[in-house]
Structure 1
Amino acid sequence: MVTPSQTLHLHRSVASRSLGPWPGLLLTGAIAAVAFGLRQIPGLSLLSPMILAIMIGIGFHNLIGTPARAKAGVVFALRRLLRAAIVLLGLQLTAAQVAEVGAAGFAVIALTLVATFTFTVHLGRLMGVEAKLAELIAAGTSICGASAVIATNTVTRASDEDVAYAVACVTVFGSVAMFLYPLLPAVLGLDAHAYGLWAGASIHEIAQVVAAAYQDGQAAGEFGTIAKLSRVMLLAPVVLVLGALASRRLRHGGKGAASAKPPVPWFVLGFIAMIGVNSVVTIPAEAKAALVWLTTFLLSMALAAMGLETDIAKLRAKGPRPFLLGLAAFAFIAGFSLMLVKLTD
């Protein structure tokens, strides 16, 4: 016999399914909107709305609890909206911008990325940090912060707690770089071009690069931004390579691997296609500004969803080793890129 409580639960389940993803999308959208609003407060404007969104999401989940009816929308934001945002991210880049960096500058950026990613993954293994978490910290540090973490996780497939931890690491150390770097050009003997290249090749988030590079003047700011956007472009080949490696591991992973679905990051091809479109089609300034805003908002919704799936107790259980790995990765990328900038200057 069906009890009244079971009947009520059944009715709620049916109602939740009939609403589909909308409750979760409304919740993640509201969190993203609050994150954008908080950036109007002095001091918080230096933080990306993506970072604020994941912080709010984590707070909401752990203090109030994510409603069961929001689950479908949260998952939708984590998967579909995230991929759409990464595709749109390609519209912020052109082939001409990459050309402005020059062969030497692009070599500095690419070598720094590869060396930092490799160093972080291997050091993580030596420190006993979980391989997937080390890979996410490596991606966030070497490419473009939180965006790279969540894009890389589409093929790494780590837990939400791993993603939140990696985002926290790259946020903390990217923020340190944002305040520290502007104090160093004169000390290190860097002109505007060299300083901009150093900032663009090594600071984690785009917003952090802009904030740090423009402190040394307009020329340093513009070149730092272009260098950083060229680095963001390398997100596509990195995710494709990681996806291929993950597929290979699945094929040779033993029992059960044959039936596993290998991750194919098709959205990365969309990202590359959008770079091509932006290189040959002139998008009006107003439309481009709206697309930049939309991309950031969608990424903020995805990170809000990540926060709504993150348990602080599980983060705590990971201990300090991943954080120390993030510190070591930050020190490495700063030192290695500076060495290359000096050699090519």
Structure 2
Amino acid sequence: MSSAARIANDIPKSLIPAELAAGRKRLDSTWNGVIPGIVLVAMITAVAFSAHNVSGFALFSPMILAVVAGMVYSNVLGTPAHARAGIAFSQKRLLRFAIVLLGFQLTLGQVVSIGAGGVGIVAATLGATFVFTITLGRLIGVDRKLAQLIAAGTSICGASAIVATNIVTDARDEDVTYAVASITLFGTVAMLGFPLLTPLLGLDQHAFGLWAGASIHEVAQVIGAGFQNGTQSGEIATVAKLTRVAMLAPMVIALGLMARRKTSSDQSGDQAGARPPMPWFVAAFVAVVALNSLVTVPAEVKSSVALATTIMLTMGLAAMGLQADISQLRSRGLRPLALAFCAFLFIGGFSLMLVKFAG
């Protein structure tokens, strides 16, 4: 033992401030409680990345595979009680940080490159799809929070938008899982089916790329569909999709305001004056996009950040899968799935109309 350690051990406990000792004990307890859950989430994340490299599973992103793997583990083996703190940490803290890092995948120059018309088509499609989905969800009796998740996932960027939106909507884990599953299903249908429709619709590479980027759910699905139709189509589709990703921040802010009004209307007196905090990660996301637009970030750094972002998003979704109860998913019935299907048809048809007549 070193002399410093010996001296520290010789200090009477009474001379150590009680607050400092209690704080150190709480810190040790917190980390000891978090680590088992993080290890479990990391293991499921590793399984998801490995499965993604297997033929037949490559169509699905690691994030989607992680949700499924987490659900299977939790509903077959059960989630250990001592892992819950780490699972919650992965679901909340890691997801927020990952959403901020998404900003490194976008620059304002990329948005400008598709032109004012392209940006207008993307924005109009996003707004119309979101309003349509929320309205239809209310009409057919889908839970408000679940409808918001489906609307965000369809209109913006799939699973990433769903988890970002849930930070302000605060839906149940089962609702998040349901939304991710339905968005994945119809996004995959779009990825495989839209390129086959190109000859019938008479779209050139530019038009198809804009349509795919404005309507298909996940970034990976957009890239898959876009480049399947040609290099130019793939590049335009990617930029159009990233333009939708840029609109994640204002959409989350809008949902936060909606949640605030809902809270105020449900409460009275002093409680009604309480203002739920606006998510800090939205401002950080915008700041990162601005930084990425003004400063040249080395390609190697961007590549590493993109990988880290995907890993953290995957860990967050694995954590959600671990907390999803399949029996509660069944209790939601088929109405949310029907809502996601109608939203899929709407975004595809509405964006195609704009591309054909205004693109």
Q: Same fold (TM over 0.5)?
A: yes
Match of 1:225 among 226, 230, 238: 238
Equivalenced residue count is: 332
2:316 corresponds to 1:307: no
Match of 2:208 among 163, 177, 195: 195
> How far apart are 1:260 and its partner, in Å?
5.6
Match of 2:251 among 238, 242, 264: 238
Identity of aligned residues (%): 56
Give the letter for the 2:232 counterpart: A
Aligned equivalent of 2:283: 269
Write the mapping of 1:260-339 to structure 2, written as runs, cut at 5 A: 262-339=276-353
Aligned equivalent of 1:8: none
2:59 corresponds to 1:43: no
Aligned equivalent of 1:7: none
Aligned equivalent of 1:9: none
Measured at CA, do residues 28 and 249 of structure 1 come closer, stay the same or move farther in structure 2, by a change above 3 Å?
same
2:137 corresponds to 1:140: no
> How far apart are 1:248 and its partner, in Å?
2.2
Write the mapping of 1:1-345 to structure 2, written as runs, cut at 5 A: 19-255=32-268, 257-258=271-272, 262-345=276-359
Measured at CA, do residues 181 and 18 of structure 1 come closer, stay the same or move farther in structure 2, by a change above 3 Å?
closer
TM-score by structure 2 length? 0.90
> How far apart are 1:186 and its partner, in Å?
1.4
SS in 2 for 1:171: helix
Instruction: State the alpha-carbon separation in 1 of the partners of residues 248 and 48 from structure 2.
Output: 25
Instruction: State the alpha-carbon separation in 2 of the partners of residues 66 and 298 from structure 1.
Output: 20
**288-297 or 24-33, which deviates more:** 24-33
TM-score by structure 1 length? 0.93
Instruction: State the alpha-carbon separation in 1 of the partners of residues 156 and 262 from structure 2.
Output: 23
Instruction: State the alpha-carbon separation in 1 of the partners of residues 83 and 221 from structure 2.
Output: 32
Task: Note the residue ranges of structure 2 that are not aligned, 5 or more in a row.
Answer: 1-27
> How far apart are 1:263 and its partner, in Å?
4.1
Instruction: State the alpha-carbon separation in 2 of the partners of residues 261 and 175 from structure 1.
Output: 39
Q: Provide, for residues 164-193 of structure 1, a one-character-per-residue CA deviation record: whole Å limited to 9, x for no partner.
A: 000011000000001001101111011111
**Preserved contact between residue 154 and residue 263 of structure 1 (Cα < 8 Å):** no
Give the letter for the 2:334 counterpart: P
> How far apart are 1:281 and its partner, in Å?
1.3
Instruction: State the alpha-carbon separation in 1 of the partners of residues 32 and 260 from structure 2.
Output: 35
Measured at CA, do residues 17 and 99 of structure 1 come closer, stay the same or move farther in structure 2, by a change above 3 Å?
closer
Task: Note the residue ranges of structure 1 that are not aligned, 5 or more in a row.
Answer: 1-14
Q: Which has the larger radius of gyration?
A: 2
**Preserved contact between residue 246 and residue 263 of structure 1 (Cα < 8 Å):** no
Instruction: State the alpha-carbon separation in 2 of the partners of residues 129 and 91 from structure 1.
Output: 35
Q: Provide, for residues 111-168 of structure 1, a one-character-per-residue CA deviation record: whole Å limited to 9, x for no partner.
A: 0000000000100111111111111100000000000011001111110001000001
**Preserved contact between residue 16 and residue 69 of structure 1 (Cα < 8 Å):** no
Q: Provide, for residues 243-297 of structure 1, a one-character-per-residue CA deviation record: whole Å limited to 9, x for no partner.
A: 1121122223224843766141110111101101111111111111111010000
**Preserved contact between residue 214 and residue 221 of structure 1 (Cα < 8 Å):** yes
**Preserved contact between residue 91 and residue 278 of structure 1 (Cα < 8 Å):** yes
> How far apart are 1:20 and its partner, in Å?
2.5
Q: Provide, for residues 222-253 of structure 1, a one-character-per-residue CA deviation record: whole Å limited to 9, x for no partner.
A: 10001000111000000011111211222232
SS in 1 for 2:94: helix
**Preserved contact between residue 247 and residue 263 of structure 1 (Cα < 8 Å):** no
- Off by >4 Å, runs of 4+ in structure 1: 15-18
Give the letter for the 1:202 counterpart: S
Instruction: State the alpha-carbon separation in 2 of the partners of residues 231 and 94 from structure 1.
Output: 12
> How far apart are 1:16 and its partner, in Å?
7.2
SS in 1 for 2:114: helix
Aligned equivalent of 2:4: none
Aligned equivalent of 1:4: none
Instruction: State the alpha-carbon separation in 1 of the partners of residues 315 and 327 from structure 2.
Output: 23
| CA RMSD, 1 decimal | 1.5
> How far apart are 1:71 and its partner, in Å?
0.7
